[in-house]
Amino acid sequence: MTFQEQILAGIPDALPQPKPYEPEINHAPKRKEILTEEEKKLALKNALRYFEPKHHATLLPEFKAELETYGRIYMYRLRPDYKMYARPISEYPGKCEQAKAIMLMIQNNLDYAVAQHPHELITYGGNGAVFQNWAQYLLTMKYLAEMTEEQTLVMYSGHPMGLFPSHKEAPRVVVTNGMVIPNYSKPDDWEKMNALGVSQYGQMTAGSYMYIGPQGIVHGTTITVLNGFRKIKKSPAGSLFVTSGLGGMSGAQPKAGNIAGCVTVCAEVNPKITHIRHSQGWINEIIDNIDLLVPRVKKALANKEVVSIAYLGNVVDIWERFDRENLHIDLGSDQTSLHNPWAGGYYPVGYSFEESNTLMADNPELFKEEVQKTLRRHAAAINKHTAKGTYFFDYGNAFLLEASRAGADVMEKHPTIGHEFKYPSYVQDIMGPMCFDYGFGPFRWVCASGNPEDLAKTDKIACEVLEEMMKNAPEEIQQQMADNIQWIKGAQENKLVVGSQARILYADAEGRIKIAEAFNQAIARGEIGYVILGRDHHDVSGTDSPYRETSNIYDGSRFTADMAIHNVIGDSFRGATWVSIHNGGGVGWGEVINGGFGMVLDGSKEASRRLESMLFWDVNNGISRRSWARNEGAVFAIKRAMATQPLLKVTIPNLVDEALL
């Protein structure tokens, strides 16, 4: 069958032959055994309900073997034979261009060059899934190919519940991931529900079909690193940035270090992902011997090289050895997947990668003990460096949270609300006050044509819009504007594209609306093809995350999720093509609620109306909340927004004299 015929077939009537396990692919680790015998039967019944009874006898032993071997039922047999990548929108079957755009984005999330564990349908973060199994993928793609503009597809944690009658103004797809009752948001609750096939961890942009490869986080990481050096009043040239993690999101770190202009050392325990990042050009060198790493770093610093070095090993070894060598680290962080500490997100020191994976599956309690022991060592080594002047920040991956739970020395001796840890979140010190409070966040677009020339044209359009805006931008946001113009001018040179022809740019509401409208006009003139707008959930409004996105909220509302819920509701009736709301994000199941959207621009007047209405709300909802929390930059930003939009009337906080208190 052709590609289009396979999409339209959905779950095939005649079962395909079983697929061989491909060891060269980067696979998810075996999940721990958590189901009772009765629950295993339930998991099998849940999986078999996708198939006609005539296939049950064939599939039952196969699915049972998968559950026993991998801890999950992935339905490998149903993995498509065609290559997985974002095709030009014209190659997808369908009755609705918006639905075709969503199919494009789904396939991009599962592209082998993009996805961390493509055969397990996991895009990044160790457990950030697009679907739970391949039957869900096949059925979803079929529904999208059949959809009209009078229908909405409803997605329950990877399961396509079905197409429902709606209308043209409604979202074409509504996605939820992991939205469980709050009392059932512990890590083992996820393990059990995921093994049963009834819920999944969608991360942020994995389960909402808006991941654009590591580029998606490169820009934010570059801003963070640049401003980290500005904070310590030091030039990146000849300075050292040490961190860890080269997986989905964390793989951006070495690239960002190179763009910032420093020496970057990034540890990673997984050889496959390390070599993938090297082959993609996201790291310059790989060193697997700490005795060779030390002189190489000293040489790079002495020569003020701009270089990224991957250390194939545990980051604790770096922190401890660099301390003994008195090798000064200027900036330090960590971006391992500590939201998922017991299932492959963080590995214990003293064990090989293979030994750790075996221990994780066969003796999860000992694995947990070793991880927590490593966290204590990790924190102790960081403390030694910070005593010598290192600036360390938590990169929102739950490092400080999990280290504190392990009993590590990371707590502030005299805590205040929002400042319980020794070290700040990067949002508290950098991204919150500099970007989010002013409405600047990770605006994204994808050229649906798949044509690199379209991407180059959109880069030029975006740059021209920003340069024009900067002429009249207030002093408070001049630095943000300058950084973004510099970023977009270097985007082509830095070869950031992995997978779809996509770009990310930090912009405020005004910038997003003006750039999107300029794209829409270019589409109307026939200069470029359709453009798909989106953003990272890691943004001004989309996410309530007390230790990351909303960590610089100090009015006691950090643990509320009203903003994220209102954000997705508001986006859905203001014109989004699809919307999503998730439990878990980048910091852990039960630790955050985060939402996202996608919007297709087709050059129409309707698209212009939708983009203005939705993007204005999508940003200013969050600025309003941040303003109410008394964040100075957000008060400035929302007053500025009200001055430009007479229909916007936001409650402004009255400040209390501290002396009176």
At 343-395, the pLDDT tens digits run: 888 999 999 999 999 999 899 999 999 999 999 999 999 999 999 999 999 88
Residues 254 and 106 reside in one and the same domain: no
Residue carrying structure tokens 């948001």? 185
- With a CB cutoff of 8 Å and minimum separation 6, the contacts of 356 are 269, 347, 348, 367
b (16+ CB within 10 A) / e for 472-494 = ebeeebeebbebbbebbeebeeb
Residues 232 and 164 reside in one and the same domain: no
Residue carrying structure tokens 């910038």? 511
* Alpha helix positions (H), 388-493: 399-405, 426, 432-434, 452-470, 478-489
Is 586 annotated as ligand-binding?
yes
Residues 121 and 187 reside in one and the same domain: yes
Strand, helix or coil for residue 444: strand
The answer as to whether 652 is a domain residue is: no
Residue carrying structure tokens 């654009």? 212
Is 90 exceeded by the pLDDT of residue 578? yes
Residues 529 and 596 reside in one and the same domain: yes
Two structure tokens written together for 225: 């690193």
**Strands 543-544 and 593-601: what pairing?**
antiparallel
Residues 192 and 269 reside in one and the same domain: no
Residues 463 and 419 reside in one and the same domain: no
The answer as to whether 657 is a domain residue is: no
* pLDDT at residue 248, as a whole number: 65
The amino acid present at 316, given as its one-letter code, is V
Two structure tokens written together for 403: 């280290």
The answer as to whether 320 is a domain residue is: yes
Count of structural domains within the chain? 3
Is 268 annotated as ligand-binding?
yes
Residues 462 and 545 reside in one and the same domain: yes
510: part of which helix (H) or strand (E)? helix 509-524
**Bridge partners of 583?**
593
Residues 489 and 621 reside in one and the same domain: yes
Is 395 annotated as ligand-binding?
yes
Question: Looking at the whole model, is its pTM more than 0.75?
Answer: yes
Q: Tell me: the pLDDT tens digits for 172-212?
A: 999 999 999 999 999 899 999 999 999 999 999 999 999 99
Ranking 96-110, 211-225, 226-240, 531-545 by mean pLDDT, the lowest is 211-225
Is 612 annotated as ligand-binding?
no
Please give the residue range of the domain that contains residue 36: 3-196
Q: Under a CB-based contact definition with an 8 Å cutoff, are residues 334 and 245 in contact?
A: yes
* pLDDT at residue 239, as a whole number: 98
Give the whole-angstrom CA distance, residue 19 versus residue 1.
18
* pLDDT at residue 549, as a whole number: 93
Q: Tell me: the pLDDT tens digits for 268-319?
A: 999 998 998 899 888 999 999 999 999 999 999 999 999 999 999 999 999 9
Residue carrying structure tokens 């829409």? 520
* Alpha helix positions (H), 74-183: 97-109, 134-146
The amino acid present at 115, given as its one-letter code, is A
Q: Under a CB-based contact definition with an 8 Å cutoff, are residues 528 and 448 in contact?
A: no
Residues 182 and 55 reside in one and the same domain: yes
> Among 329, 289, 296, which residue's Cα sits nearest to residue 312?
289
| CATH number assigned to the domain comprising residue 456 | 3.40.1770.10
Is 126 annotated as ligand-binding?
yes
Residues 318 and 467 reside in one and the same domain: no
* pLDDT at residue 249, as a whole number: 66
The answer as to whether 563 is a domain residue is: yes
**Per-residue pLDDT averaged across 469-484, rounded?**
92
How confident is residue 56, by pLDDT bands cut at 50, 70 and 90?
A: very high
Q: Tell me: the pLDDT tens digits for 98-141?
A: 999 999 999 999 999 899 999 999 998 889 999 999 999 999 99
Q: Under a CB-based contact definition with an 8 Å cutoff, are residues 47 and 75 in contact?
A: yes
* pLDDT at residue 585, as a whole number: 87
